[in-house]
């Protein structure tokens, strides 16, 4: 497994991470198999959130690996907070309370990274800054990030933060390419030219913010997987063609397409199947050419200007 330096900084992470949203559905044995498979494949970065399984996913994770200090030092743990039932909450009180709950469920003294989960339009950045400073000075959180935020939302936060944002989680897959489309269709009147994200891809590259891509196999908003899906015949034909030529599963090609981008994005694989995870990890050894990358992009239905 190749590695990346998150935000060009001190965190040396596997270029593919394991998302733990659904592991609450697994038995201890199956969860242990999944996590140990990840470690064997070179994955050291694990993504959580306090809402995953209502907090149960974090408990299952800690139980599955029998969390202790010697195990903890091998892991990079990230979790998220800010989503509550029916609203978002970036208040200082909620952030601090959420982290205490996360640490208790993960049976650890600290998080490597805490993300604010989606934007909260009622956010008071001064409060967030106070919460982050308290968490950092107490040793409970080392680094901070966000998910699904625009450049100016991050700029607003960074104006007040002593510890700047290093990660932005964004949806990206071969069938969800909006932040790439807008950068290719500049000064055009077609739908692909609509910039819904304020050039967030280029902004994150400029600011050394690592983009973590969620749902790398999904189309739409959790509408289903595009692999082996009759709705995407041309895309699957091209993916399977490259998979056969390179001797890897189709999942590896879909992830390799993300890894090929020079932004050095980190895909989050949310599978709960250990064999599927092994297949996904083969993407780290796949090299796509520029021509192959664009062939896949066009096969997904995108038209170059």
Is 160 a residue of the active site? Answer: no
Q: Do the Cβ atoms of 163 and 130 come closer than 8 Å?
A: no
Which one-letter DSSP state was computed for residue 25? G
| CA dihedral (19, 294, 224, 272) positive or negative | negative
Reported as a pLDDT band with limits 50, 70 and 90, residue 175 is very high
Q: Answer yes or no: is 304 within a domain.
A: no
Query: pLDDT tens, 71-129?
Result: 999 999 999 999 999 999 999 999 999 999 999 999 999 999 999 999 999 999 999 99
**Is 203 a member of any domain?**
yes
Residue from 52, 143, 203, 297 carrying the catalytic annotation: 52
Instruction: Examine residue 222 and state whether it is found in any structural domain, yes or no.
Output: yes
Which domain does 270 fall in, by range? Answer: 3-299
Q: Note whether residue 272 is domain-resident.
A: yes
Residue 37, number of CB atoms within 10 A of its CB: 18
Find, among 217, 233, 236, the residue nearest to 225 by Cα.
Answer: 217
Which pLDDT score, from 0 to 100, does residue 221 have? 85
Q: Where are the beta strands (DSSP E) in the chain?
A: 3-5, 12-14, 17-19, 45-47, 76-81, 83-84, 87-88, 111-116, 141-147, 165-171, 210-214, 218-219, 224-225, 266-269
Residue 148 lies in a domain: yes
The pLDDT value given to residue 229: 98
Collapsing DSSP to helix, strand or coil, 155 comes out as: helix
Residues whose CB falls within 8 Å of the CB of residue 204, separated by 6 or more in sequence, listed in order: 168, 210, 211, 263
* CATH code of the domain covering residue 105: 3.20.20.100
- Interval 275-286: pLDDT, tens: 999 999 999 999
pLDDT per residue as tens digits for the range 210-252: 999 999 999 988 889 999 999 999 999 999 999 999 999 999 9
Residue 112, in any domain of the structure: yes
Confidence of residue 62 (pLDDT cuts 50, 70, 90): very high
State percent of the chain over pLDDT 90.
Answer: 99
pLDDT at 222: 82
Is 224 within the bounds of a domain? yes
Contact 95, 82 (CB under 8 A): yes
pTM for this model (two decimals)? 0.97
8 Å CB contact between 119 and 148: yes
Domain count, the chain: 1
Question: If you search the block for the tokens 């998150």, which residue do you land on?
Answer: 6
End-to-end CA distance of the chain: 35
Examine residue 167 and state whether it is found in any structural domain, yes or no: yes
User: Residue 1 has what DSSP assignment?
Assistant: -
The pLDDT of residue 115: 98
């Amino acid at each position: 497994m190749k590695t990346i330096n998150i935000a060009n900084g001190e965190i040396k992470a596997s270029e593919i991470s394991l998302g733990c949203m659904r592991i609450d559905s697994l038995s201890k044995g199956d969860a242990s198999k999944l996590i140990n498979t990840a470690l064997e494949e070179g994955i050291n970065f694990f993504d959580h959130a306090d809402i995953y399984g209502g907090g149960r996913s974090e408990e299952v994770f800690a139980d599955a690996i029998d969390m202790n200090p010697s195990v903890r030092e091998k892991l990079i743990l990230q979790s998220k907070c800010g989503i509550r039932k029916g609203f978002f909450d970036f208040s200082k009180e909620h952030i601090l309370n959420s982290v205490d709950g996360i640490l208790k469920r993960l049976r650890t003294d600290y998080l490597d990274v805490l993300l604010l989960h989606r934007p909260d339009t009622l956010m008071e950045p001064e409060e967030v800054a106070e919460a982050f400073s308290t968490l950092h000075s107490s040793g409970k959180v080392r680094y901070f990030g966000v998910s699904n935020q625009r450049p100016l939302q991050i700029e607003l936060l960074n104006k007040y933060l002593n510890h700047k944002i290093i990660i932005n989680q964004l949806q990206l897959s071969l069938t969800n390419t909006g932040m790439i489309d807008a950068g290719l269709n500049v000064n055009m009147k077609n739908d692909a030219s609509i910039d819904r994200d304020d050039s967030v891809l280029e902004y994150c590259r400029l600011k050394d913010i690592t983009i973590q891509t969620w749902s790398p196999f999904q189309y739409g908003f959790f509408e289903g997987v595009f692999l082996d899906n009759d709705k995407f015949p041309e895309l699957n034909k091209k993916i399977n063609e490259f998979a056969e030529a390179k001797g890897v599963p189709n999942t590896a090609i879909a992830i390799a397409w993300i890894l090929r981008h020079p932004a050095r994005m980190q895909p989050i694989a949310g599978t709960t199947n250990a064999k599927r995870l092994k297949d996904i990890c083969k993407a780290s050894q796949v090299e796509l050419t520029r021509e192959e990358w664009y062939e896949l992009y066009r096969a997904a239905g995108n038209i170059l200007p």
